[in-house]
Amino acid sequence: MATSAPTAVAEAVTVAVTAAGKNQLFLGSFVDSAKLDELRYLHDAAVAVDAAGTIIAIEQPCDEQKARLTVLPRLGWAADAVEVHVAKPGQFFFPGFIDTHLHASQYPNVGIFGKSTLLDWLNTYTFPLEASLADPSKARQVYSRVIRKTLSHGTTCAAYYATVDVASTNLLADLCVAAGQRALVGRVCMDQLSPAYYRDESPETALAATRASIAHISAIDPELALVRPVLTPRFAPSCSAPLMRGLGALAAEMPHLPIQTHISENTNEIALVRELFPPTSTGAPDDSYAAVYDAFGLLTDRTILAHGVHLSEAEADLIAARRAKVSHCPCSNSAITSGAARVRWLLDKHISCGLGTDMSGGYSPSVLEAARLAALVSRHVAMGGDEKAKLSVEEVLFLATRGGADVVGLADVVGAFAVGMHWDAQLVGLGDVNADGEVEGDQDEDNNVDVFGWETWPERVAKWVYNGDDRNTKRVWVKGRLVHERK
């Protein structure tokens, strides 16, 4: 408990108990990111969450008795109307993970990529599968399972690509609302270079289909409380200039909408973009990939750029100037041999970064795995000569939570524990050992993290990052609602 902050952090609030849900009180240890390279440890703390799922008080130190005597009366909460959750020894609450880039439609293909690289992988494995999800029953099966699986790994918010098909894209949004997962849901725009069986017929039909999907998602969640539509040009090679121009215009017309796409993932892809979009055709000042998106009005502070493995200095400076964000996808970048993204270099340029599983370019649905791989890939970058490229446990957990929240435009809403933010959280269980070395808590359960009892809290968290998995994810909440419980 070495890094426990002993100061009391009581926050004054006034609340009305709403009939919509139950007020909740969470008690125990809470860990979140104070800043990029620092975790905050709040032990013996209480977090009060109102019926709408908003954190309205954080008190420390505070046990259940003190909470009942002081916190509940102050909040005006009747004791018997509050649901109390007490973390067991060895357990801690952690913000839910944010997966800033994944393809819900590709989930059945995880692990199936052979020795392919991006462009042949798309044609061999990806387009046939995505096209097949126009079958509504198949889409329902795949999307239900990807939501359940990612929730079980602690992903409370996901930036999803669906497919070209409007009906099944809309179904993905419906299923997210039903399961309670926070999500960005994008209908994939692509009107060129893919097989005829899987592409938008024209820029006009692509834009109409995009509007139809935006209308549906906005209708099922009018306040965008949980699910938001996201403009999704697949990547520059898949989109004609008129489609890109149209999407840029749509982005300007709907300034609340985020945008997601891929950039500079693979060297052959970059060469293709140069060939397809010469500056003479786009009006861009140079032939870089970032300049192409910028020329079409798609490089904005709402833009999530996946990969960014081979960006030039000038491109990174342009991305920083536009305040566009980067989703780092170390699993995918390794699996389909795209390269090692230089995350430290991006962070040093003040580019906001988060983590993406990029299923199924990446083979794992777990953001914890993405964090572990971000740490490892950064060591490969370091072995290339840049010692300071290494990312710490604290840094990869920041990317998985607060970094990701900023990338998806929710920095004030999720990613940490603070009054006013939503309770998007996971209960992590690592087990515990008492002073006599006897096993307590969950240690005896099937679990890949062995705690001996002498580890400091930062050491326990490091063991979770390097050896943990969904067996350690005991419960998951989104906006106060319990959305996963490990049986």
Where do contacts with ligand GUN occur on this chain (CB under 6 A)? Answer: 103, 118, 122, 126, 234-235, 262, 265, 332, 358, 361
CB of 359 to ligand GUN, least distance (A): 9
CB of 404 to ligand GUN, least distance (A): 17
> Which partner, ligand GUN, Fe ion, none, binds residue 265 by CB below 5 to 8 Å per kind?
ligand GUN
CB of 267 to ligand GUN, least distance (A): 13
CB of 307 to ligand GUN, least distance (A): 7
* Cβ closest to Fe ion, residue 265 vs residue 432: 265
Q: What Å distances lie between residue 83 and 72, 80, 247, 315, CA to CA? A: 11, 8, 46, 50
- β-strand 155-161 against 182-186: which pairing, if any? parallel
Site for Fe ion in 332-391 (CB under 5 A): 358
Number of residues that bind Fe ion (CB under 5 A): 1
Across 294-395, the runs of DSSP E, i.e. the strands, are 303-307, 325-328, 353-355
Q: Which one, of 307, 311, 278, 308, lies nearest residue 295 by Cα?
A: 278
* Cβ closest to Fe ion, residue 176 vs residue 335: 335
Residue number of the CB closest to ligand GUN reads 361
* Cβ closest to ligand GUN, residue 94 vs residue 235: 235
Amino acid at 120: D
Q: Which one, of 46, 54, 50, 44, lies nearest residue 82 by Cα?
A: 50
Quote the CA–CA distance of 115 and 414 in Å, as a whole number.
Answer: 38
Nearest-5° Cα angle at 326, 331 to 259: 110
CB of 99 to Fe ion, least distance (A): 11
* Cβ closest to ligand GUN, residue 122 vs residue 408: 122
Question: Residue 447 phi/psi, 5° resolution?
Answer: -165, 135
Quote the CA–CA distance of 358 and 332 in Å, as a whole number.
Answer: 6
The answer to the question of residue 99 lying near Fe ion (CB under 5 A) is no
* Cβ closest to Fe ion, residue 3 vs residue 123: 123
CB of 122 to ligand GUN, least distance (A): 6
> Which partner, ligand GUN, Fe ion, none, binds residue 344 by CB below 5 to 8 Å per kind?
none
Local structure of 271: helix, strand or coil? helix
Quote the CA–CA distance of 236 and 289 in Å, as a whole number.
Answer: 8
> Which partner, Fe ion, ligand GUN, none, binds residue 126 by CB below 5 to 8 Å per kind?
ligand GUN
Tokens representing residue 223 in the block = 């306040």
Quote the CA–CA distance of 155 and 212 in Å, as a whole number.
Answer: 27
* Cβ closest to ligand GUN, residue 77 vs residue 289: 289
Tokens representing residue 237 in the block = 């090679």
Residues 6+ apart with CB under 8 A from 471: 445, 446, 447, 448, 486
> Which partner, ligand GUN, Fe ion, none, binds residue 235 by CB below 5 to 8 Å per kind?
ligand GUN
> Which partner, Fe ion, ligand GUN, none, binds residue 368 by CB below 5 to 8 Å per kind?
none
> Which partner, Fe ion, ligand GUN, none, binds residue 154 by CB below 5 to 8 Å per kind?
none
Q: Which one, of 359, 422, 367, 408, lies nearest residue 184 by Cα?
A: 408
Q: Helices (H) and strands (E) in the chain — how many of each?
A: 18, 20
* Cβ closest to Fe ion, residue 95 vs residue 330: 330
* Cβ closest to ligand GUN, residue 17 vs residue 119: 119
CB of 85 to ligand GUN, least distance (A): 38
> Which partner, ligand GUN, Fe ion, none, binds residue 234 by CB below 5 to 8 Å per kind?
ligand GUN
Q: Which one, of 375, 354, 369, lies nearest residue 101 by Cα?
A: 354
Contact residues: Fe ion, CB under 5 A: 358
